């Protein structure tokens, strides 16, 4: 055993070898030395336990091959590209909306350069980082001003903390939603230091319920759009217009959390209806919050639009600095919003709307191409078909609404083989993520963005 230990090469000898010198230039001394020490420590453990040298110590080429493999792996970002064939276009776990080419360009410019983030070039003095987007949103929604934070939950938190700390917030019991990750509206209220006042019942809430709950300690009346569930049957709810009238009677602001937040009439695009931000502003709602990375089709952000006097208070709250967005997100969001100035081009320029509005004929053609590509790579254990499928707009945005689609389905007599193929899909350099249902793998074409790249990836199976 002592002879084996003495045969281990020294770190200095390895570093001074021709390969070592090359690796030092490529990766640097710290990283290379750390990996060599790790390999030698593993070798000592194997000698101790098995009384033999590891195979990789048989020659230096194997040592350096292992080192290069590990160091190259360490340089790779773990959050890799995947191909979304789940059928859920705005998939929360897969990053939701894809940025447009213009948004990517704007964000990249901000990454590589100094930008006028909080600087008015014309006046030569400090400005506000939300100013450009606020002016855009005034034009697009009719609101007086806007405030941008890092997501919609943050937007709700900021509104509550600014106007309702130590006070009461009245909300319908049927609107106490839970969003992804077990994050609940009542929890946000508790964190903001306000008291939740539930009114009505789960399925029916009337205007008198709000009226009877108003006290001298009421901060505002709140509506939450249930974008991730629906209550059907014997139901009743109060509209924003009715709440606004009640709010004016008692001098109370009305705040709406729209969640998904669409700026276009989705029904006109052949999609399920969703309330528009402009409608809530026109109804007189004082503050409306919504997400940037759902139906809007941009980066993750929380957008608040509404009355300037209230927005100014939000901007001055200490939490705003905690929750504000950086130059990259603001650049991407601004570029996304500028698409809405050219509404006839939205379905071409915004990836989210482009995917959602693809004709069935296009999806069927893509399904045939994908099936043909897979047939060339898979053996006779697998049976492939093209089948009608029901896609989703989003897991947290209109999850109960489905869109007609086509999918390539893969089945196998042995379920173990099917699971092995799913594992193989996920082990690709750019994993293919589908869904398993009815003892088949479903590869839905509605949600995949880079189809040509997908076909190229299939060739590596």
Does some domain include residue 293?
yes
- Single residue among 311, 343, 375 that ends a domain in this structure: 343
Separation CA 408–CA 458 (nearest Å): 13
- Same domain for 70 and 202, yes or no, is no
* Residue with more model confidence, 198 or 284: 284
Alpha-carbon torsion angle 116, 120, 125, 127, nearest 10: -80
- Same domain for 326 and 448, yes or no, is no
- pLDDT computed for residue 221 by the predictor: 95
Joined tokens for residue 397: 């945005």
Helix (H) or strand (E) holding 222: strand 218-224
- Single residue among 323, 343, 363 that ends a domain in this structure: 343
Does some domain include residue 132?
yes
- Same domain for 336 and 362, yes or no, is no
Res. 234: pLDDT tops 90: no
Res. 238: pLDDT tops 90: no
Average pLDDT over residues 132-146: 97
> CATH code at 384?
3.90.1150.180
Joined tokens for residue 231: 């209550």
- Same domain for 131 and 253, yes or no, is yes
Separation CA 5–CA 258 (nearest Å): 67
Determine the 3-state secondary structure of 179 from DSSP. strand
- Same domain for 401 and 452, yes or no, is yes
Lowest pLDDT segment from 30-44, 259-273, 387-401: 387-401
Does some domain include residue 135?
yes
Average pLDDT over residues 427-432: 96
- pLDDT computed for residue 367 by the predictor: 98
Separation CA 90–CA 96 (nearest Å): 4
- Same domain for 3 and 34, yes or no, is yes
Average pLDDT over residues 27-55: 88
Separation CA 1–CA 328 (nearest Å): 58
- Same domain for 178 and 282, yes or no, is yes
The model's pTM is 0.89
- pLDDT computed for residue 49 by the predictor: 85
Q: Which single residue is written with the structure tokens 């590509």?
A: 373
Average pLDDT over residues 55-82: 87
- Same domain for 292 and 429, yes or no, is no
* Closest of 388, 309, 316, 327 to residue 109, by C-alpha: 327
Does some domain include residue 261?
yes
The bridge status of strand 125-126 relative to strand 183-184 is: unpaired
- Same domain for 309 and 239, yes or no, is yes
- pLDDT computed for residue 51 by the predictor: 80
Joined tokens for residue 308: 């300037």
| Tens digits of residue pLDDT in 183-206 | 677 888 888 888 889 888 877 889
Average pLDDT over residues 398-406: 80
Please return the burial class of 447, using the count of CB atoms within 10 Å of its CB with bins 0-12, 13-18 and 19+. buried
Average pLDDT over residues 401-409: 93
Res. 230: pLDDT tops 80: no
- Single residue among 321, 343, 365 that ends a domain in this structure: 343
Distance from the Cα of residue 211 to its chain's centroid: 38
- pLDDT computed for residue 1 by the predictor: 65
- pLDDT computed for residue 48 by the predictor: 84
Written as one string, the DSSP assignment of 254-312 is: EEEEEET-BSS-GGGGTS----BHHHHHHTT-SEEEEESSSTT-SSS-EEEEE-HHHHH
Cβ neighbours of 193 (radius 10 Å): 12
Average pLDDT over residues 6-10: 83
| Tens digits of residue pLDDT in 210-219 | 999 999 999 9
The total domain count for the chain is 3
Lowest pLDDT segment from 115-129, 217-231, 272-286, 344-358: 217-231
Does some domain include residue 348?
no
- Same domain for 217 and 316, yes or no, is yes
> CATH code at 265?
3.40.640.10
* Residue with more model confidence, 330 or 59: 330
- Same domain for 387 and 310, yes or no, is no
Residue 364 lies in domain: 83-92+353-459
Cβ contact 176:343 at 8 Å: no
Q: Which value, in Å, is the radius of gyration of the alpha carbons in the chain?
A: 28
The CB-based long-range contact list for 93-97 (8 Å cut-off, 24+ gap) reads 93/395, 94/433, 96/293, 96/294, 96/300, 96/394, 97/293, 97/294, 97/296, 97/297, 97/298, 97/351, 97/352
- pLDDT computed for residue 232 by the predictor: 66
Average pLDDT over residues 127-137: 95
- pLDDT computed for residue 283 by the predictor: 95
Give, as one character, the DSSP assignment of residue 392.
Answer: E
| Residue 434: HSE in the Cβ half-sphere, 13 Å Cα cutoff | 23
Predicted confidence band of residue 175 (pLDDT cuts 50, 70, 90): confident
Does some domain include residue 371?
yes
- Same domain for 140 and 247, yes or no, is yes
H helices of 177-276, in order, are: 185-192, 207-213, 240-250
From residue 164, give the alpha-carbon distance in Å to each of 196, 223, 278.
10, 15, 25
| Tens digits of residue pLDDT in 298-351 | 999 999 999 999 999 999 999 999 999 999 999 999 999 999 999 999 999 999
Res. 427: pLDDT tops 80: yes
Per the prediction, the chain carries an average pLDDT of 91
Predicted confidence band of residue 254 (pLDDT cuts 50, 70, 90): very high
Predicted confidence band of residue 177 (pLDDT cuts 50, 70, 90): confident
- pLDDT computed for residue 342 by the predictor: 96
Alpha-carbon torsion angle 26, 28, 31, 34, nearest 10: 110
Separation CA 257–CA 226 (nearest Å): 9
Joined tokens for residue 261: 């937040």
């Amino acid at each position: 055993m002592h002879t084996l230990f003495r045969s281990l090469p020294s770190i200095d000898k390895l570093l001074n070898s021709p390969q070592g010198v090359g690796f030092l230039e490529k990766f640097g001394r710290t990283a290379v030395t750390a990996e060599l020490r790790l390999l030698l420590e593993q070798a000592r453990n194997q000698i101790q336990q098995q009384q033999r040298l590891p195979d990789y110590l048989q020659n230096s080429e194997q040592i350096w091959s292992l080192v290069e493999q590990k160091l190259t792996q360490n340089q790779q970002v773990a959050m890799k590209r995947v191909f979304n064939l789940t059928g859920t276009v705005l998939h929360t776990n897969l990053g939701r909306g894809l940025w447009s080419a213009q948004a990517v360009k704007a964000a990249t410019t901000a990454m590589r350069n100094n930008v006028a983030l909080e600087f008015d070039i014309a006046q030569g003095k400090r400005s506000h980082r939300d100013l450009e987007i606020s002016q855009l949103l005034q034009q697009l929604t009719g609101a007086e001003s806007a405030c941008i934070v890092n997501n919609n939950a943050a937007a709700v938190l900021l509104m509550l903390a600014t106007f309702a700390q130590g006070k009461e917030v009245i909300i319908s019991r049927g609107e106490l939603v839970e969003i992804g990750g077990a994050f609940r509206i009542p929890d946000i209220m508790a964190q903001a230091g306000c008291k939740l006042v539930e009114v009505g019942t789960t399925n029916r809430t009337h205007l008198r319920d709000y009226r009877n709950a108003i006290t001298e300690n009421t901060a505002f009346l709140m509506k939450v759009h249930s974008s991730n569930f629906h209550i059907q049957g014997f139901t009743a709810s109060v509209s924003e217009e009715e709440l606004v009238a009640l709010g004016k009677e008692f001098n109370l602001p009305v705040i709406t959390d729209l969640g998904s937040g669409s700026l276009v009439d989705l029904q006109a695009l052949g999609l399920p209806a969703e309330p528009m931000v402009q409608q809530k502003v026109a109804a007189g709602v004082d503050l409306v919050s919504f997400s940037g990375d759902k139906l809007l089709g941009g980066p993750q952000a929380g957008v608040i639009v509404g009355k300037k006097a209230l927005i100014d208070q939000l901007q001055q709250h200490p939490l705003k600095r905690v929750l504000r967005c950086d130059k990259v997100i603001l650049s991407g969001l601004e570029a996304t919003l500028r698409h809405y100035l050219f509404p006839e081009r939205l379905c071409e320029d915004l990836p989210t709307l482009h995917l959602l509005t693809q004709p069935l004929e296009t999806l069927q053609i893509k399904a045939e191409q994908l099936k043909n590509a897979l047939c060339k790579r898979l053996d006779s254990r697998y049976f492939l078909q093209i089948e009608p499928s029901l896609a989703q707009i989003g897991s947290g945005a209109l999850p109960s609404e489905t869109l007609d689609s086509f999918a390539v389905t893969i089945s196998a007599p042995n379920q173990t083989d099917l699971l092995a193929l799913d594992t193989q899909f996920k082990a690709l350099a750019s994993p293919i993520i589908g869904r398993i249902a009815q003892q088949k793998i479903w590869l839905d074409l509605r949600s995949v963005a880079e189809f040509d790249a997908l076909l190229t990836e299939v060739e590596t199976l």
